[in-house]
Amino acid sequence: MRILELQDVNQNVKEFIFSNLSKTEQLTKLYIVSLEKLKTKEKSTLYYQNKPSYTDLEITLPEFHIYTIIIDVDKLYTDIVDFNVKDIYQNYIKDLSKFIRIIQEIESKLHELQFYMIDRYLSIISTIKSYLRYYQDSYLIMSNQFESSEIIDGLIITVNQRIDKLNSDVLMKGTYIDIKTSRILTIISLITFPILMMATWFGANFPKSQMIFLNSKHSYKITIIVCIIFIISMFSIFWNDIYAIIF
C-alpha cells in the first residue's frame, strides 16, 4: 500500500474528510490517537489536541492527540511521518498501559475521597472513557484493514473493566458519604431538639400567668435536668454511630 501525504488528496476525498461519514465503498476514514504528539508534516490536516488538567487532585491526564488517515483502495493518505502500523500498535499498547496506571493511582486515593471531589473524579473517569472509545474505534478499523493484536485486545478489555469498576466504586463511595452525612445531621438534630424546643417554649410571648410552669420555683432546674437526661439518652442510643463518626 502506497503512503502519500494527506494534502495531496483530490476534491472528492477532501469532501469525505470533512463529512460525517466514516466509510464509503472506496474510502475509509481512520483516526490515529496518541498520548504523545507524533511527528507530522508541516501542513497537517484535521489534527486535534486536548490538554486536560486536574492538578487540584494531584492527578494529571496526558495530552490527547488525534490524527486523520484516509485509506483509498491501494493508497493511504497521512501526514504522520514514517507511518507504520506496528509502531502505531506499540504506541497503543503503551498508551493503554498508561491508562491502567492512572486508574491504579485513582484507586489508591479513594480512601481520601471527599464529597466535593466526586464530580472531579467522575470527570476524569468520563475523559478516560471518551479517550478509550477513540482507541477502540481506531483499533477496530486498523485491525480490519491491516492486522490485529492480541495484546491490544486484552488491554482494551482490561481498561474497560477497570474503568467501569472504578466508576462504580466512586459512586458507591459518594453514596456512603451522603448516607454518613445524613446520619450525622440526624443525630445532631435529635440531640439539640430538647434545647430548641425549650428555647421556643420559654421564648413564647405569653403572660406568665398563662405559663404555669414558669411560676414554679424549680422550673429552670427541672428544664435543665430534662434536657441533660434527653441528651444523655440520645448519646446512649446513638453511641456506636457517634464513635464510628469520631474515630
Q: State which amino acid sits at residue 197.
A: M
Q: Which three cell numbers stand for residue 240?
A: 456506636
pTM to 2 decimal places:
0.74
**Most confident option among 44-48, 137-141, 213-217:** 137-141
The Cα–Cα gap between 193 and 234 comes to 10
Q: Which CB contacts under 8 angstroms, 24+ apart, belong to 98-106? A: 98/35, 98/62, 99/128, 99/131, 99/132, 99/159, 99/163, 100/155, 100/158, 100/159, 100/162, 102/59, 102/61, 102/128, 103/128, 103/159, 103/162, 103/163, 103/166, 105/59, 106/59, 106/166
Place of cell 422550673: 219
Helices 219-237 + 239-246 axis angle, to 10: 70
Residue ranges of the domains in the chain? 1-82, 180-246
Instruction: Count the Cβ atoms, other than its own, within 10 Å of residue 30.
Output: 22
Q: Looking at residues 90-106, what average pLDDT do you find? A: 93
* Radius of gyration of the chain measured on its C-alpha atoms: 32
Mean pLDDT along residues 39-58: 63
Counting other chains too, the contacts that 195-199 makes at CB distance below 8 Å and 24 or more residues apart are 195/227, 198/223, 198/226, 198/227
Rounded distance, CA 225 to CA 82, Å?
86
Residue 152: half-sphere exposure toward Cβ, Cα within 13 Å: 23
Arithmetic mean of pLDDT over the chain? 82
Query: According to the model, what pLDDT value does residue 204 have?
Result: 66
More confident of the two residues 189 and 34? 34
pLDDT the model gives residue 160: 95
